[in-house]
Amino acid sequence: MRVQFSLVVDRRATVTRLAAGCAWSIEGIGAGHEMQVLIGEDATLDPLPGSGKGFRGMDFQPMRISASRPFRSGDIALGIPFNLAAYSLLTQVIAQQVGLELGEFAHTIIDAHIYIAPEGSETEKYDHLIGLKEQLTREPLALPRLKIKDKPLDELCFEDFELINYQHHDKITFEVAV
């Protein structure tokens, strides 16, 4: 996927306002079936597989960039918060790389679900409902600011990202059932 985003950044100056791609392993798809980033007028969304991987679209407005991403399925307690954070971060990285202001990230979930288990059962520890009810009682805190070092996309690493004024509530544990 890094290669696909590099193409978006490298070709930004020569394209119209849309780009789309997917997170399938290009090497794993097989000869003659490589996935490509779709840029400009070719950025129709129909050729993308319904895999739940990748980014659906990046919309380059005159002064800002926005992104959208549909998910076929999403776990409310664990998967969706991770995906929101990851794709929002990715949108901000691309915005910085192409010199545009950060717009919005739209997240669509087709099958959103909460794991619930009967009290006293062997699977009770995987019940997310109690933790989610606790989360709903909490007042939102001020949002932090994300600072990203000004480096080429393929040189960014974990240490190049800094959350400024990050505040949080006490941890709520959600077990993962495999």
Q: Please report the pLDDT score of residue 16 as a whole number.
A: 53
Let me know: does 35 contact 21? Beta carbons within 8 Å: yes
Q: Does domain 2-164 have CATH number 3.40.50.970?
A: no
Q: Where are the domains of the chain?
A: 2-164
Q: Please report the pLDDT score of residue 149 as a whole number.
A: 97
Mean pLDDT of 5-29: 55
- Over the stretch 29-54, which tens digit does the pLDDT of each residue have? 444 444 444 444 444 443 434 334 44
Specify the residue for token string 């062997």. Answer: 122
- Over the stretch 100-125, which tens digit does the pLDDT of each residue have? 888 888 888 889 999 999 999 999 99
Mean pLDDT of 84-92: 88
List 59's β-bridge partners, or say none: 18, 66
Let me know: does 9 contact 3? Beta carbons within 8 Å: no
Calculate the alpha carbon distances from 119 to 52, 77, 162 in Å.
Answer: 32, 18, 41
Largest Cα span, the chain = 61
Q: Please report the pLDDT score of residue 20 as a whole number.
A: 58
Specify the residue for token string 């950025």. Answer: 43
Sign of the Cα pseudo-torsion (65, 70, 71, 77, in order): positive
Q: Mean pLDDT of all residues in the chain?
A: 77
Let me know: does 58 contact 66? Beta carbons within 8 Å: yes
Calculate the alpha carbon distances from 87 to 26, 28, 75, 106, 156 in Å.
Answer: 20, 23, 16, 9, 16
Residue 12 has pLDDT above 60, yes or no: no
Kindly report whether the global pTM for this prediction surpasses the value 0.85: no
Q: Which is more confidently placed, 1 or 125?
A: 125
Rounded to an integer, what distance in angstroms lies between the CA atom of residue 107 and that of residue 83? 9
Mean pLDDT of 129-157: 94
Local confidence band at 21 (pLDDT 50, 70, 90 cut-offs):
low
Q: Please report the pLDDT score of residue 124 as a whole number.
A: 92
Q: Which of 57-61, 90-94, 119-123 has the lowest mean pLDDT?
A: 57-61
Which DSSP symbol is given to 45?
S
Specify the residue for token string 């990046």. Answer: 58
